[in-house]
Amino acid sequence: MAITTLLATSNVVKLDTTSFFSSFSGKTNHFLSRRLSHTKRRVQVTSCCYRETWLKAVTPLTMPVTETSSDSTGLGIVRFLKGKSYFITGATGFLGKVLIEKLLRASPDIGKIFLLMNSKDQESANQRLFDEIISSDLFKLLKQTHESSYENFMKSKLIPVIGNIGEDNLGIESETLDKITEEVDVIINSAGRTTFNDRYDYALNVNVLGTNRLLSFGRQCKKLKLFLHISTAYVTGKKEGTVLETPLCIGENMPSDLNIESEMKLASEAVRKFHGSQQSKKLKELGIQRAQSYGWENPYTFTKAMGESVIHSNRGDLPVVIIRPSCMESSYKEPFPGWLQGIRMTAPLILSNGKDKIPDLLGDSQSTCDVIPVDMVVNATIAAMAKHGSGVSDLNLYNVSSTSNPNPLRFRELMDLSHQYLCESPLRETSKDLERMKFHSSLESFIFSVSKTIAKQERQMHNGEEGEVESHTTLSIKGMRKLNYFVSLATTYQSYLFFQTRFDDTNTRSLFQEMSMEERKMFEFDGKCIDWEDYIINVHLPGLKREIFRKYPILKESDLRDNY
């Protein structure tokens, strides 16, 4: 059933102690150059692809076949994984796929992994499994290990389940649901609406109600040992200082006047009131307005916060772990360096210079850029799963981030490293003469500088003139669209580019310390080991470039701007 139809109803359904509307069911830097000369790996100039060495998989992990003394003095991760069955949402997403790959590689004797897939029928679900997971280059190590039996191995472990987290009972047929509840040991919720300017109704339906639907499903599972929820480190909103690893609860560390039922009702009324393209526009505006009125940046972080509060209130006796990653980017090492899916997180900021030659950012150059490689998030998730998967009814929370590291990445360093890389390995031939990024402390200064740059580009394109213009009012219609895009990008990222928060990771560091030396090698997530220069120059940016050319084999002038 379409969500717009579902939102038109006004029935109320009780979710334990909380009521919800059922309407939601359904330039060159010489100092930097000197630093880079000591980097362990060198950047090689390439025009539209990267060195094969960047794509080589890491040496396959040697997993212990039997329990070892090292295992017994650590968390016993491999022992825990063996034979367990999992129910995973968001399986075809960035984090979900890396998680599945690591589970299968670390524990070939794992039980079944049920994957919730939004498909019309079983045939299309099976096809999605093959196209988006089995055929993905992410699984190259498993292909090498299992050779001709690879496909059979994957199909024996991965079970696609037709359903939708946005529907009652997860949209799963009752007979199938009954069978799954008999087998599942661990539920992993990695699904979510992650767009910063998402429609409010969509974000609420998945990030809030969807979380509660999974809790209800978890209570039906006969032998459930853990409910693991992937949230975001930015879930605490516009707070400066140190963000602790503590659960969110309305009335305690969330505004006491926040009423989730009322938020549902507001979105439901907007759906009934507006129609067509106006409906989408108004619901996006509503999401931004409601989030910012309560102290959050956008509806994504706001609804994820509400989702956490639902877990805190309604989990009952379910054992829960919440993982809060910061900005997840390309893999650091596993299964090979630089794997990425989608143009995400910091990419639009980097591409604004690399592709569009706009050397301006609205932000503080010394603010911290909290980036964490996706494989480290996955490893921390698996370690937490093993530690808390005993069925004990408690709630544990882990910030998986990098701002607490002794040498955190800052935006000036990120943009300088990106500038260095893109000058030597440009996205297009016309992008070799990039200027070093300039940071602006005000939106007015940013708009003035960007409009002047766009006007100059237009004059060069049409007349071959180098002169500058005084005002952006002389821009063409296309130029104004371009300016509006960059203003929108700046306002969307503004809070992150003036970031003055540090995520405490005491629990995460303690978790790592509990692991045996063997486990630390197999499931590494110590962010202090990240060499930022090496990671950005030799791993992440080549990975980003590869992903761009995978999606756009022939890079056109408007492709990146129009799509991202």
The residues, any chain, with a CB within 8 Å of residue 417's CB and separated by 6 or more, are 32, 36, 532, 533, 536, 537, 541
The residues, any chain, with a CB within 8 Å of residue 503's CB and separated by 6 or more, are 233, 242, 243, 324, 326, 370, 399, 401, 403, 404
Mean pLDDT of 316-322: 96
Mean pLDDT of 301-315: 97
Give 521 or 550, the one with higher predicted confidence. 521
Paired with 371 in beta bridges are 327
Q: What is the pLDDT of residue 55?
A: 42
- Which member of 202, 300, 398, 496 is catalytic? 300
Q: Which fold has domain 77-326+370-403+502-523?
A: Rossmann fold (3.40.50)
pLDDT in tens, 368-380: 999 999 999 999 9
Mean pLDDT of 154-165: 97
Whether the bond between 359 and the residue before it is cis, its omega within 30 degrees of 0, is no
Average pLDDT, whole number, for the chain?
86
357 is catalytic: no
Q: What is the pLDDT of residue 464?
A: 57
pLDDT in tens, 18-74: 333 334 444 334 334 434 444 444 444 333 333 333 344 555 554 444 344 344 579
18-21 and 12-15 strand pairing: antiparallel
Domains of the chain, by residue range, sit at 77-326+370-403+502-523, 333-369+405-461+474-500+528-554
Helices (H) and strands (E) in the chain, counts: 24, 15
* Per-residue pLDDT at 468 exceeds 60: no
pLDDT in tens, 188-205: 999 999 999 999 999 999
Mean pLDDT of 159-172: 96
Give 429 or 197, the one with higher predicted confidence. 197
pLDDT in tens, 112-151: 999 999 999 999 999 999 999 999 999 999 999 999 999 9
Which of 113-117, 312-316, 514-518, 550-554 has the least mean pLDDT?
550-554
* Per-residue pLDDT at 473 exceeds 70: no
* Per-residue pLDDT at 470 exceeds 70: no
Q: What is the pLDDT of residue 25?
A: 40
Mean pLDDT of 354-383: 95
- Which member of 157, 304, 333, 355 is catalytic? 304
438 is catalytic: no
Q: CA–CA separation, 165 vs 104, rounded Å?
A: 24
* Per-residue pLDDT at 8 exceeds 50: no
Q: What is the pLDDT of residue 47?
A: 34
Q: What is the pLDDT of residue 561?
A: 38
